């Protein structure tokens, strides 16, 4: 099913020459009218120049966004800031706007100077390719993605890219959401932050936080009014769907594992334990080999919660309990059988009300091969 932007928003996909492959590497989003918008960005201290530009524009109405793939424009010093400003000025001249009405985003290798002149030269061609279809825009923002990532629920649509460097600390990868619901930007900001925390912040591919993570939510405000509950539910659905698609497209991944933690002191404590397990290379390697090495799960949780009481902990792999009240239990062979493909890992850590689920993938030799030559 084709997914389209809300009426009044179009996008274009171009090849400007950043990627040596010649594949699309420049995306443009344009609105007929000023957009209310919200954004959630990486908390990494090495946040990229485009993140800093867009974050500074929160609270201002915008009309367009320019995003490139193949180069993160991160850790590039004054030249990176100048490239962002030059891109905004070129886009403003192309579409008859002010530079302050332009948001900027980038994704790709870190520490390489952005060839901004290629972007500037290509922007005039964007007008001819503008379309309400979202899929071409995805191809402009993808890097190592092998699958299209689109979602639509109620009044919301979304597109995302990401397959590695996924350990969100606010958002993750790049995601662009659109709606026609007439909701004020400040309200959207709070709703988006909550949705991101429950979705993109609950996935982990390789425990490597990005410098460019950004999630944008745009509203034309031209649609029928919706209740905040309805809007929030649709926003949760769109974000959760895109987040799961990212994990399913993980570089080298062969299975998706749902890590469910219950009994923690609160939700954030449960999420922290789940993320620790998801980040464990030892456990992820065991996942790949269908090895029910549950000791690695306990070790990962104990590394972030020094007060973890093993006599209150139980661990199950699929339907097989492998550890309970401080001692091993169950059948190793039966547990291994549960790991042949996607499976769940359930951890009860006490009698608290906190619960959270984190999605993760296995660590395979292909992941190492794909990331051994990221800039060469």
Query: Does 4 reside within a domain?
Result: no
Return the minimum-mean-pLDDT range out of 169-173, 184-188, 256-260. 169-173
Q: What is the CATH number of the domain that holds 94?
A: 3.60.70.12
Half-sphere exposure of 354 (CA within 13 A, CB side): 16
How far is Cα 27 from Cα 21, in angstroms, rounded to an integer?
Answer: 16
Query: Are residues 82 and 220 both part of a single domain?
Result: yes
**pLDDT band of 238, cuts 50, 70, 90:** very high
Check if the beta carbon of residue 72 is closer than 8 Å to that of residue 209: no
Element (H, E) at 274: helix 267-279
Output the average pLDDT for the chain: 95
Q: Where are the beta strands (DSSP E) in the chain?
A: 9-14, 26-41, 62-69, 102-107, 150-153, 156-161, 174-179, 203-204, 214-219, 256-264, 314-317, 320-324, 327-328, 343-348, 354-361
Asked if pLDDT for residue 300 goes beyond 70, the answer is yes
Selecting among 76, 107, 172, 179, the annotated active-site residue is: 172
Query: Are residues 217 and 277 both part of a single domain?
Result: no
What's residue 371's pLDDT? 86
Asked if pLDDT for residue 164 goes beyond 90, the answer is no
| Mean pLDDT to the nearest integer, 54-79 | 97
**Structure pTM?**
0.93
Query: Are residues 58 and 84 both part of a single domain?
Result: yes
Per-residue pLDDT tens digits for 315-336:
999 999 999 999 999 999 999 9
| Residue 318 region by backbone torsions, left for phi larger than 0, else alpha for psi between -120 and 50, else beta | left
194: which 2 tokens?
């909550």
User: What crossing angle do the helices spanning 295-304 and 267-279 adopt, rounded to 10°?
Assistant: 130
**pLDDT band of 308, cuts 50, 70, 90:** very high
What's residue 241's pLDDT? 97
Query: Does 127 reside within a domain?
Result: yes
How far is Cα 38 from Cα 61, in angstroms, rounded to an integer?
Answer: 10
**pLDDT band of 165, cuts 50, 70, 90:** confident
Asked if pLDDT for residue 170 goes beyond 70, the answer is no
- As beta bridge partners, residue 104 has 66
What's residue 1's pLDDT? 61
List for the chain the helix, strand, coil content (%; round to 5): 35, 25, 40
**pLDDT band of 219, cuts 50, 70, 90:** very high
Asked if pLDDT for residue 171 goes beyond 70, the answer is no
pLDDT above 70 as % of the chain: 98
| Mean pLDDT to the nearest integer, 13-27 | 96
Query: Are residues 106 and 130 both part of a single domain?
Result: yes
Q: What is the CATH number of the domain that holds 324?
A: 3.10.20.340
Query: Are residues 229 and 284 both part of a single domain?
Result: no
**pLDDT band of 342, cuts 50, 70, 90:** very high
Query: Are residues 232 and 85 both part of a single domain?
Result: yes
172 is catalytic: yes
Query: Are residues 118 and 102 both part of a single domain?
Result: yes
Exposed/middle/buried for residue 222 (C-beta within 10 Å: 0-12, 13-18, 19+):
middle
| Mean pLDDT to the nearest integer, 227-251 | 96
Query: Are residues 150 and 111 both part of a single domain?
Result: yes
Q: Which domain holds residue 123?
A: 9-248
Query: Are residues 163 and 269 both part of a single domain?
Result: no
Exposed/middle/buried for residue 143 (C-beta within 10 Å: 0-12, 13-18, 19+):
buried
């Amino acid at each position: 099913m084709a997914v389209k932007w809300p009426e009044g928003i179009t996008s274009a996909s171009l090849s400007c020459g950043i990627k040596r492959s010649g594949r699309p590497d420049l995306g443009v989003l344009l609105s007929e009218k000023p957009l209310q918008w919200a954004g959630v960005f990486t908390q990494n201290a090495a946040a990229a120049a485009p993140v800093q530009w867009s974050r500074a524009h929160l609270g201002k109405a915008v009309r367009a966004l320019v995003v490139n793939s193949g180069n993160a424009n991160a850790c590039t010093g004054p030249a990176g800031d100048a490239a962002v400003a030059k891109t905004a000025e070129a886009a403003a001249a192309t579409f008859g706007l002010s530079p302050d009405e332009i948001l900027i985003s980038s994704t790709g290798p870190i520490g390489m100077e952005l060839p901004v002149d290629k972007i500037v030269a290509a922007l005039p061609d964007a007008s001819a390719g503008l379309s309400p279809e979202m899929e071409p825009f995805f191809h402009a923002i993808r890097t190592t993605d092998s699958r299209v990532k689109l979602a639509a629920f109620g009044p919301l649509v979304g597109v995302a890219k990401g397959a590695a460097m996924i350990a969100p600390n606010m958002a993750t990868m790049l995601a662009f959401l659109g709606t026609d619901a007439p909701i004020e930007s400040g309200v959207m900001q709070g709703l988006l932050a909550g949705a991101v925390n429950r979705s993109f912040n609950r996935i982990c591919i390789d425990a490597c936080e990005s410098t460019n993570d950004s999630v944008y939510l745009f509203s034309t405000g031209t649609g029928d009014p919706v209740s905040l509950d309805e809007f929030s539910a649709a926003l949760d659905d769109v974000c959760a769907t895109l987040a799961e698609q990212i994990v399913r497209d993980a570089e080298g991944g062969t299975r998706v594992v749902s890590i469910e933690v219950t009994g923690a002191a609160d939700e954030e404590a449960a999420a922290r334990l789940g993320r620790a397990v998801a980040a464990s290379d030892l456990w992820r390697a065991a996942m790949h080999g269908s090895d029910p090495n549950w000791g690695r799960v306990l070790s990962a949780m104990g590394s972030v919660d020094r007060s973890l009481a093993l006599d209150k902990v139980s661990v199950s792999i699929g339907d097989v309990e492998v550890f309970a009240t401080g001692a091993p239990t169950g059948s190793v062979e039966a547990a291994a059988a549960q790991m042949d493909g996607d499976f769940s890992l359930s951890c009860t850590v006490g009698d608290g009300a906190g619960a959270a689920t984190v999605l993760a993938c296995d660590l395979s030799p292909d992941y190492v091969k794909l990331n051994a030559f990221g800039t060469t």
